[in-house]
Structure formats: structure tokens, C-alpha cells
Amino acid sequence: MEITSNPYLLLYILVTISFTSALAPFISEIAFNVHVFSKYAYIHAIVLGIIIGFLVTPLAKKMAGFHEGFNLYNLGFTGGIFGAVIASVLKLYQFVVVPQRIISVEHDVELKIISSSVFISLIIVGYYINNKSFEGYKTLLKDNGLKSDFVIKYGYGVTFINMGIMGFVAIIYTILLGETLNGPLLAGVLTIVGFSAYGKTILNITPILLGVFLGKFGSQIDGFTLALSGLFGSSLAPIAGVYGPFWGVIAGMLHVAVVQSIGIIHGGLNLYNNGFSAGIVAGFLLPIISTLKESTNKRKSKYLQRQKSLHDLIRKTEDNLYDDKNK
């Protein structure tokens, strides 16, 4: 079957290609690493890139079952697993990866102005597409965000409105934390905007952001890491949407804890480290939530059964008294 005959297959491949770029640093490290540079380095890098591209699609399909769709960044989780394997092989042969942290703080105002202009444009365009109204937006807010394509369910207009509003929510979050907008944080903001067409709303990301913020108390996490963890950690939004704000807060707190330590596994070469962390958190939390829910439902069922038995007994007693009275 030709790819062009199935538009959905083509779309899936294009999405996979886009997100697989999370592992791009592996190619750069192989090609330009000064510690192990050889004349074949570029060839090795190209071969590794082809292998990654070939294997990531079947891996992504399998990995989605681990978190059951509750991590919106499935390719980030897949990239983390795949990256951990590649990094382990490289370490086995003494391939040294030197961590870097280069963060700009010079263009905060300009980035906020440009971003705000784009978000306002999204809201205005969405408003006009949606027959000059915000009708349907309240319905979208009630969506739990689990495997939800907002464009299909609510249309382009309402989706654009949601994207624009969520962009402002993301920027306000960074401002409240006192952080300047830079490359990584802007990427987090734009990721929230993008996934506001596929699962994210104000109601289901707020508990995650709150949980990440609460996770800082008693720790020594810096503001930049906190802001980045919150923006990208919003990939756990479906947990809050399906199971409620409480579990969303718990997921956020666990995420900020896990994301700080998990990067060492892939040597920092998976750009979607938060997606990797979110997949682990979701896979860890879901069985616990399900077990507690089942236990609660069983207790409720037993309670209702006892209440019904008591009600039946009272009714039977009343009937007997009535019969005795009429004899």
C-alpha cells in the first residue's frame, strides 16, 4: 500500500519524524565530539541517524501502552528509552558526553511581545472562524484531554482560541516564577500552545503546574528548572482531566522530582527529557490510582448493599406491623 493512499498513515509518519528530532543531539555528538573524533565520524553519525529513524516508529507504538496515553509526549518517552540504550552502548566504549548549559537571558521583553502577538492573533482568528463567538469553548474546557483531537471534536475556531489562551497561561506561569523567557522556556510555551489542539486546557494543566510548584518546597531546585518542568510536565494533563485535580497535583510533584535525575540515563542527549519523565510518572501512578479507585468502588458497593439490605429489612418490618394491625 502506498503511503499517499492513506492520509492518516502519512500524517502519523510526519508527526513521528518531527518528534524523533528529540534524539538529534546523538548525531551531533558522534559527528563533532572532539574526544573521539575520527575521519569516519560523519559516516557513523549518519548511520546512527538512519537507525534511530528506522526503529523509533515501532518503538513508539509499543511505548504508548506503558502510559496508556496519559503522557501526551509519547515520543519523548520513547526517545528517553531509546536514548538510554544508545548512551549505554556509547559509554561502554568510553564515549564521553560533556554536559552543557547555555541559556540566554537577553531577549525576554522581545520574546514576550512577539509571542503575545501570535497568541492574540490565534484568539482573533479563532473567534472569526467560530462565527465571531466563543461558543463551544466551555465544552472544550470540560474535555479530559485523553487522546482528544480538539480540531476533530470542536473545530478549528475553538481550538485556535484555546491555543491562544493557553499561550498566555504558559507565559504568565514563567512570569509568576520570576523567570526570563529564553530558548528552552519558549520551547515549553510553544509546546503547550501546540498541544492545546490535542488535550491541554486550563483546567487540566493547572493542577500539574501547581504540583510542580509545590515540589520546590524543601528542595534546592532553581527557578529555571522549575519553570521548564512545569511547562513540559503539562504533558501529564490527562491525569488531572480523567482522575481529578488531586492526582494532577501529585503527578506534578512526582514529575519535578523524577525529571531532575532521569536525564543522566540518556546523558542529556534526549531533548524531550520531560516527556521521558512524564511517561515514567504516568506508568507509575496509573496502577496506584486504579487500585485505589477499585478499592473505593468496592467499599461504596458494600456500603450501598448494606443500606439496601437495611432498607429492605425496615420495609419488611413495617409491612409486617401493618398486616398485624389490620388483622
Q: What is the pLDDT of residues 210-253, one digit of tens each?
A: 999 999 888 888 888 899 999 999 999 999 999 999 999 999 99
DSSP characters for 63-74?
Answer: HHHHHTT-SS-H
Spatial distance between the Cα atoms of 316 and 310, rounded to a whole number of angstroms: 10
C-alpha cell read off for 6: 492513506
Q: Are 80 and 273 in contact (CB under 8 A)?
A: yes
pTM, entire model: 0.83
Spatial distance between the Cα atoms of 199 and 89, rounded to a whole number of angstroms: 36
Q: How many CB atoms lie within 10 A of CB 16?
A: 17
Residue 9: per-residue pLDDT? 66
User: Would you write out the chain's pLDDT as a tens digit for each of its 327 residues?
Assistant: 444 556 666 666 777 778 888 888 888 888 887 566 677 888 888 888 999 888 888 888 888 888 888 999 988 899 899 988 888 888 887 777 766 777 777 888 999 999 999 999 999 999 999 999 999 999 999 999 998 899 999 999 999 999 999 999 999 999 999 898 988 899 999 999 999 999 999 999 999 999 999 998 888 888 888 999 999 999 999 999 999 999 999 999 999 999 988 888 887 888 888 999 999 999 999 999 988 888 777 777 665 676 666 666 667 666 666 556 665
Contacts of 243-249 with C-beta under 8 Å, sequence gap 24+, read 243/289, 243/293, 245/206, 245/207, 246/207, 247/207, 247/285, 247/289, 248/204, 248/206, 248/207, 248/208, 248/210, 248/211, 249/207, 249/208, 249/210, 249/211, 249/214
